[in-house]
Structure 1
C-alpha cells in the first residue's frame, strides 16, 4: 500500500512506522488514522516482521488530532461522532492486540491521542526534548482514545489520576522513574530500534506468545490454561530446539532467518 501521511519501511526484520506530517507535529487527520491502522495490521500480518517501531517525523511524535482538520461537531449526531472516535480507538486496539512487539520512539511531544498511541505500544523510549501529555481535561474533553484505561495499568491508579486530572506533562525523566519508559535517549529512534532488534533476535514464537500472555485483566486460571497451549507451541518449535542447543554448546543461536 502507498501511504500519503506516513512512511512504512521494513529493515532487518523491524517495521518502522513514521507519522509524516511534521509541519503540524504529526497531528493526525482522518486519512492518517486510516493509514496508521493499515500499517499496524500490515506489520502484524508479515511473517518477516519480528518487531515494530512507531515514531514521528521532524520534531514531534504525534500532537493528537489536527484541530484545523476537524469538522464542527455541533451539527453531527452522536452516532457520527462515535464512528470517528471508533476509528481513532482502533489504532490503540490494533497496537494493543498485536502479538508483534511494538516500541514507541517518542522523539517529541506526544499529546492527547498521540500520547495514547505511545501508551498503546508495548515499550517506550523517550528523547530528552519529548513529553507525553494526556491533556484532554485542559480542553474540556475526556481521554476517549484509551488513556484512562491504559495509564492506570502502566503506572498505577493514583499516579494515572494525577496526570489525567491535571493534564500535566510526563517528562522523560518522570517516565523512566515511574516505569513508563525504558530509557531516555538522545537518539530515541536509534535506541528504540536497538531495543526492537534485541527482541527480534529471540525465538519468534516465544516472543509473540509471551507478549500475548501479558494481560492485567486475565485471571490466573485463564493464564495457566493459555500458557499450556502456548508452551506446547513453543516446545514443538524449531527455534526453541536451536536456542537450547546453542545454550548447551556455548554459542549464539542461528535461526536461519533472512532479514530484508
Structure 2
C-alpha cells in the first residue's frame, strides 16, 4: 500500500476511505496534497477489491480549498506555469468524475472553493450538520477553475447554479438536501456515507460499475444504447448476476463469495 503524507488511504471491507489529513487548516491543500489525492483515486479505481470510495476530511473540515500560505508568487510565474498548477487540481476532479467505482463525499465540515468542487465531483454526497459548501471564487475575484461552473449546473440546474456561483453564497446542509445536491443530512456524515457505500458495495459489482459509467449527460441516446448493450452483456455473463437472480428466485440474500482484504 502506498504511503502518503497529507492524506490517508484505508480499505476496510471493500470500501476505500480517502481522508485529507490537514485538520489544522481545515484540510486546505497544497500541490503535494492533490498529487496524493490523484494517486489515491488511481489506486482505488485499479483495485478490483474496492467497491466504493468515500472522500472526507480530518477534524472539523472537509476541504477549505487551496492553502494560500503555500502558493507561489504568481507575479513571478507565467500563464503556462499557472495552468500546470491548476491542471493538477483539475485532474483530481477529472479522476473522480470518470471513475467507474462509485465515490461518495462525506462532507463533515466546510467544503470551500476547490474543496467544494471535490465534493461536487463525487457521485454522491452526504452532508453533516456543519457541511456547508461554497463556490466562493467570485468573492475573491476568481472563477471556478477546478470544475464548479461545469459540475453545479448539471447537478442542480442552471438557474440555481448561477445563484450560488455568481453570489458566492453558502449551500447549507438543509439547502443541499432540498435541491437534490446531497443524498442526506446526517449527524455523522462519515458514518452515513459509510452506510451508503456499504449498500452500494453489496450489489453486483459489474452492474454497479457499468451503471455508473452509463450515467453520462454528455452522451447521445444512440451512444447510450450502444454502451448499454455492451455493458449489459458483461453483466449477463457475470457470476454475480447469476447469483443475484438465483437468490431472488429462492427468497434469500445473495452470496457473492468475496474475500475482503483489509
Fold-level similarity (TM above 0.5): yes
Report the 3-state secondary structure (helix = DSSP H, G, I; strand = E; otherwise coil) of the residue aligned with 1:215: coil
CA distance in 1, matches of 2:112, 2:248: 44
Matches within 5 A, 1:115-126: 115-126=116-127
Who is 1:52 aligned against? Answer: 53
- Work out the CA distance in 2 between the residues paired with 1:139 and 1:101: 33
After TM superposition, the structure 1 = structure 2 runs for residues 144-183 of structure 1, keeping only pairs within 5 Å, are 144-183=145-184
**CA RMSD between the two structures:** 0.4
The gaps in structure 2 that reach 5 residues or longer are none
In structure 1, the partner of 2:258 is 257
Matches within 5 A, 1:73-152: 73-152=74-153
- CA drift at 1:129: 1.3
SS state at 1:251 partner: coil
Aligned residues: 260
**Superposition deviation, residue 258 in structure 1:** 1.0
Partner of 1:187: 188
Q: Aligned partners of 1:32 and 1:97: how far apart in 2? A: 20
C-alpha displacement at 1:130, in angstroms? Answer: 1.6
Deviation for aligned residue 1:91:
0.7
Question: Aligned partners of 2:134 and 2:75: how far apart in 1?
Answer: 26
Partner SS state of residue 153, structure 2? helix
How big is each residue's C-alpha offset from its partner over 1:64-112, in whole Å with a ceiling of 9 and x where there is no partner?
0000110110111110000000000001000001000000000000000
Q: Distance in 1 between matches of 2:44 and 2:187?
A: 26
TM-score, scaled to structure 2 = 0.99
1:189-237 superposed Cα distances (whole Å, 9 cap, x missing partner)? 0000000000000000000000000011110010001000000000010
- Structure 1 unaligned spans of 5+: none
Find runs of 4+ consecutive structure 1 residues off by over 2 angstroms: none
